[in-house]
Structure 1
Amino acid sequence: MELKAQILLPGGPARGECLALTAPISFWGGVDPATGTIIDARHPQLGWCVAGTILALPGTIGSSSASAVLLELVHAGKAPAALLLDAPDAILLLGLVVAREMGWRTPPAFRLAATEQSLIAGRVISISAAGAIRPG
């Protein structure tokens, strides 16, 4: 099976296990910027780590600080390998833009519907720079 994601922030290719969250998350207070661990006590994936994964987000819970948390994840080497967003989140993506301006290696970001994200949950996938998603 091959899926096609829309490029939001170019980069890649990327490879990793797809961590498809089952609920929206706020990066501010929801993800530990030093470790990449989900720390929101109410989130279904509490305790899971986003570092190195292809992180599929069915939604985000807004906070203007989300970009700072993602920036800190990049700086700490704990960022996801790539982001798959159901809908673009300008605040979240700003963290990646700033990280690139700082000269840091940043993960690419793509748009992929949550219904398609669930098809690749838990699988090791590769995403090309053009947004082609394939197994392995």
Structure 2
Amino acid sequence: MVELHGRTVVPGTAEGEALVSQATISGWGGIDPARGVIIERRHPLYGQSFAGKVLVFPGAKGSSGWAGFFQSTRLLGTAPLAMIYVTTTTKAALGAVVTRVPAVTALDRDPLTVIRTGDRVRVDAGDGRGLVTVRPAHPAHPQ
């Protein structure tokens, strides 16, 4: 088990399977909010769903419509359980706020190198803690 400490963006607690993207995610035209699926054709996670998962990604790319598309995932029941991102921009922060899921950033280690898709991740962003606990899906997973 590994613990990462960071800054809370949106308070709350959630636990689930991680979906890790090494590439930024485009909201407007990059996701299908009705299905919670990445639809940007050149994206490494094209066709994969983030619905009900802890989404770990570098940050947001594209226009200010990013937050609106992620808010739609909340309204349609396809939002991620939580968000962990590396680079804070107004798009990413506002997207986390309107999605209303626990979100953390500014971790003491790069989550993109520590967390792998399939790992069990708990995000405890209550009381400003910004604590991320990672349980590797495979025991041999190097941390």
Give CA-to-partner distance per residue, 1:94-133, whole Å, 9 cap, x none: 244446xxxxxx2021104583333111201111122211
Q: 2:104 maps to which residue? A: 110
> Which consecutive unaligned segments of at least 5 residues does structure 2 have?
136-143
Q: 1:73 maps to which residue? A: 73
CA RMSD of aligned residues (A): 1.8
1:35-114 matched pairs, under 5 angstroms = 35-98=35-98, 106-112=100-106
Contact 1:20 1:118 survives alignment (8 Å): no
Q: 2:7 maps to which residue? A: 6
Q: 2:141 maps to which residue? A: none
Whole-angstrom distance in 2 between the partners of 1:54 and 1:97: 15
Aligned residues: 129
Provide the TM-score with structure 2 as the length reference: 0.81
Letter in 1 for 2:76: A
- SS of match in other structure, 2:104: strand
Q: Where does structure 1 differ by over 4 angstroms across 4 or more consecutive aligned residues?
A: none
Letter in 1 for 2:19: L
Contact 1:84 1:112 survives alignment (8 Å): no
Provide the TM-score with structure 1 as the length reference: 0.85
- SS of match in other structure, 2:113: helix
Q: 1:124 maps to which residue? A: 120
Q: 1:134 maps to which residue? A: 133
Letter in 2 for 1:34: A
Letter in 2 for 1:119: V
> Which consecutive unaligned segments of at least 5 residues does structure 1 have?
100-105
Determine which structure has the larger strand proportion and give its number: 2
- Identity fraction in percent: 34
- Quickly say closer, same or farther: Cα 1:97–1:14, change in 2 above 3 A: same
